[in-house]
Structure 1
Amino acid sequence: MAAKAGKRVTAADVARSLGLSRATVGFVLNGTTEQRISEATRDRVLAEAARLGYRPHTAAQALRRGSSKLVLLIIPDWPVGFSISECVEEASHALEAEGYSLVTQTHHPVGTARPLWELLDPEVVVGFAPFNQDELAAMRGCGITKIIPGPGHSASPPDPLGLHDGPRLQVEHLHTRGHERLGFAATSDPRLSTLVESRLTAAREAVASLGLPPLVVRSVDAPDTAGQAVHDWLQANITGVVAYNDDSAARTIRAAVRAGHEVPADLAVIGHDDNPYAALFLPSISSIRIDYAGLGRHLATLALQAATGRPLPTDGVDAATAVVARESTES
């Protein structure tokens, strides 16, 4: 007997089709090992379940075992580029190895879609940034207590996106190559305003600690603004540019070359995030590499610690930050 079209096939349907008790079928489909069920009966149940198209009811299983085996990762409203994708992919692999599934949702401040924590019953919710009080209250209202970062689970990578170490290394890299008057290539994308301001603040602190003149900040979002920025920097005797990311670095280099200037002889530029195209650009772009795969593994470790109570590793996060020197700063 097959279930009606459009209706979920249940364990009861499998039991009726085989003429077995619901309890026997339930023991087989739930993998219960405490009950003595013959291999022949077990094989019959599994074969019939496959024939009928049975799929386990995730919510019911979660209630029985007290765990949904789901981790929800909330991504801020950022353009999802290579770095975030690499982080998510690595976190997903690490969680799958432990029997957990990773689900992601991008948080759009003006969106009207219900948050997935209301729909999926995740065991753990993880964010790249702290959640606000309204979000925490909403999660608690759904019965979610394992929140990272959040009350009781505040462990997080010390600088997961290179907000402090990255800009410091950019400034130091240019300074060691003789550049004392520096510019900062920014973007005016409102989605990135918090990240841009954080990296700019860190770069300013690094410049001040070295006793260098203040950064000259310009936006390089479009060809005309990038061209004007290059003109302004050269007029101000700027010889090195700290770019918010590799996109900003590429726009700066393109504008400089199109205006007839040499990189790095006239203007050295260092990007951030070390996207794959940084090595392919001409000239190739010096950048800051963050081990986003390591960050993904660390996020998975934090989620598993919250879910299972296992101790965190003593060696901490392995998302190292380092300079990758290429042609845009190397003469």
Structure 2
Amino acid sequence: MPTTTQKRVTAADVARSLGLSRATVGFVLNDTPGQKISDATRERVIEEAKRLGYRANSAARALASGRSRIVLLVMPDWPLDHNLRTNLDEASLALDEAGYSLVTMTPHAGGTAQPLWETLSPDVVMGLTPFTRDQIARFRAAGVEHIVPETAVEDGSALDELSDGPVLQVRHLVAQGRTRLAYAGSADPRVSDLLDLRRSTAREEIARTPGVELVASSDVEAADAARALASFLEAGADGVVAYNDDIAARLLRAALRSGIAVPEQLAIIGHDDAPIAELLVPALSTVRIDIKGLGRYFAQMALTAAAGAPVPTNRPFTTAELVARETS
């Protein structure tokens, strides 16, 4: 049986149906600024467009307006964990509310696919981490006008997690009477920059706290958490600050299997408040990040950049809170 292809409804169809000029209908459907069109006419056009099933031709609109209404997020090769997914979901929702689409991509070394900043003509290219000068040059060569952050990592731009989580971790353990702390990092090379930031922040907080010392620091391999745990106990640690909840969970499992009482002998605190933290037995103490707030903040950065306005500096005031449970 032959198939039929339904003809796309155009602005001209809407104009004919209403007996209006194509120009008037086009001004309304494209929300063209500076046009004196009555509210009544505008409402008639919008309602008729809906009735006929009109959908804007995004390519033509982008060509006419010079905007694609796309924000391209160039992501580092990070694990797509609970927090990152929540961040992206919230940023995508906030951008969608403003009429923009969020598209993500992760460049890979040796990849041969044409970069999306060349094929999509995004209004804004954003990064969760600073770009290199070479990356920024390639964005500019492709015609990208708005880049966030615009300062290259070689020029002093640095990763800023917008969180005092490691400080809260240390202070909580100290408040529980722990004075000999160990830091448990991740062996995943993809998160090395974020790990360095969290570990150095925790180390600095320990250094300025009288009577407290960092007695050990080790990255925890997925299959060998027992080794890291043994090194912490051998150093006399009575509390562990973990890079995230996954690392903390591995140590907790190793401790329980070894007969180490948690938190009596060893207190453990994670970071991120992943769903697993509350489900563990004993439940994991951790730090909760306002990931949704950060996602909306990143969206606001993109929207102001797209409008040619200065990127906002009013970052979320409170981005981390302690969640005390049974492991500390």
Corresponding residue number in structure 2 for 1:324: 323
Structure 1 residues 24 and 169 mapped into 2: Cα distance closer, same or farther (>3 Å)?
closer
Q: Percent identity?
A: 45
Structure 1 residues 24 and 313 mapped into 2: Cα distance closer, same or farther (>3 Å)?
closer
> Contact between 1:14 and 1:48, CA under 8 Å: does it hold in 2?
no
Aligned to 1:214, the other structure's residue is in SS state strand
Aligned to 1:125, the other structure's residue is in SS state strand
> Contact between 1:131 and 1:149, CA under 8 Å: does it hold in 2?
yes
Counterpart of 2:141, as a letter, is G
Structure 1 residues 180 and 125 mapped into 2: Cα distance closer, same or farther (>3 Å)?
same
Aligned to 1:59, the other structure's residue is in SS state helix
Q: What is the CA-CA distance between 1:173 and the residue it aligns to?
A: 1.4
- Please, what TM-score do these two structures have when normalized by structure 1? 0.81
Q: Structure 2 unaligned runs (5+)?
A: none
Distance (Å, rounded) in 2 between the aligned partners of 1:216 and 1:158: 25
Distance (Å, rounded) in 2 between the aligned partners of 1:242 and 1:194: 17
> Contact between 2:271 and 2:288, CA under 8 Å: does it hold in 1?
yes
Corresponding residue number in structure 1 for 2:175: 176
Structure 1 residues 176 and 134 mapped into 2: Cα distance closer, same or farther (>3 Å)?
same
Distance (Å, rounded) in 1 between the aligned partners of 2:87 and 2:268: 26
Q: What is the CA-CA distance between 1:222 and the residue it aligns to?
A: 2.7
Corresponding residue number in structure 1 for 2:86: 86
Distance (Å, rounded) in 2 between the aligned partners of 1:222 and 1:283: 20
Q: What is the CA-CA distance between 1:239 and the residue it aligns to?
A: 0.7
Corresponding residue number in structure 2 for 1:75: 75
Corresponding residue number in structure 1 for 2:65: 65
Is the aligned partner of 1:286 residue 2:285?
Answer: yes
Aligned ranges for residues 150-189 of structure 1 at < 5 Å? 150-151=150-151, 159-160=160-161, 162=163, 165-189=164-188
Counterpart of 1:86, as a letter, is T
Corresponding residue number in structure 2 for 1:232: 231
Corresponding residue number in structure 1 for 2:99: 99
Is the aligned partner of 1:306 residue 2:308?
Answer: no
Aligned to 2:250, the other structure's residue is in SS state helix
Distance (Å, rounded) in 1 between the aligned partners of 2:300 and 2:231: 47
CA RMSD of aligned residues (A): 3.6
Corresponding residue number in structure 1 for 2:142: 142
Structure 1 residues 288 and 38 mapped into 2: Cα distance closer, same or farther (>3 Å)?
closer
Q: What is the CA-CA distance between 1:127 and the residue it aligns to?
A: 1.0
Q: What is the CA-CA distance between 1:100 and the residue it aligns to?
A: 1.6
Counterpart of 1:103, as a letter, is V
> Contact between 1:71 and 1:126, CA under 8 Å: does it hold in 2?
yes
Aligned ranges for residues 236-247 of structure 1 at < 5 Å? 236-247=235-246
Q: What is the CA-CA distance between 1:30 and the residue it aligns to?
A: 4.3
| 1:97-156 per-position Cα deviation (integer Å, ceiling 9, x unaligned) | 22222112223344333321111111111111111111101111121121111059x9x9
Aligned to 2:213, the other structure's residue is in SS state coil
Q: What is the CA-CA distance between 1:250 and the residue it aligns to?
A: 0.2
Distance (Å, rounded) in 2 between the aligned partners of 1:161 and 1:31: 37
Counterpart of 2:286, as a letter, is S
Distance (Å, rounded) in 1 between the aligned partners of 2:49 and 2:205: 63
| 1:267-319 per-position Cα deviation (integer Å, ceiling 9, x unaligned) | 10000111122111111111111101010111111111112245777853245
Corresponding residue number in structure 1 for 2:108: 108
Structure 1 residues 38 and 187 mapped into 2: Cα distance closer, same or farther (>3 Å)?
closer
Aligned length: 318
Counterpart of 2:196, as a letter, is E
Distance (Å, rounded) in 2 between the aligned partners of 1:74 and 1:304: 16
> Contact between 1:295 and 1:318, CA under 8 Å: does it hold in 2?
no
Distance (Å, rounded) in 2 between the aligned partners of 1:194 and 1:134: 19
Distance (Å, rounded) in 1 between the aligned partners of 2:314 and 2:216: 39
